Amino acid sequence: MKSYLFKMLLVCLFIMAGISSSWAQQNPAPRTEEYCDVEILNHLWKGITIAIDYGQEPKVMPESLKGEDGKPMVFNSPIHALNFMSSLGWELVEVYMEKEGSRAYKHFLMKREVVK
């Protein structure tokens, strides 16, 4: 009798664990942060622009951040671009370099709190 009750208890525990696991996957915790990757694009003839990756569909060529006038925003330096992103509530997490052939691209990994 004890063996039967023990087996039934184990079966009930496995069922409950499966139900809670599937519920957790269907109902993820609300996001408290969001991340983006800022790529610094150096243009010898016109300063620095930035391309921001929020996780959207990738493009063949990164597209520069545009201002209200529809033209690419130009920054004096990578720090100028970093200060601009900071003014929008983004916080620097990490800086890394991406090498492609003989060129190297600087990236800022940034995060900010999600406003609910």
Q: What is the pLDDT of residue 102?
A: 83
For 113, list phi and psi in degrees, rounded to 5: -70, 145
Q: What is the pLDDT of residue 44?
A: 74
Cα 96 to chain centroid, rounded: 14
For 80-95, write each residue's pLDDT tens digit. 999 999 999 999 999 9
Tokens of 114: 């999600």
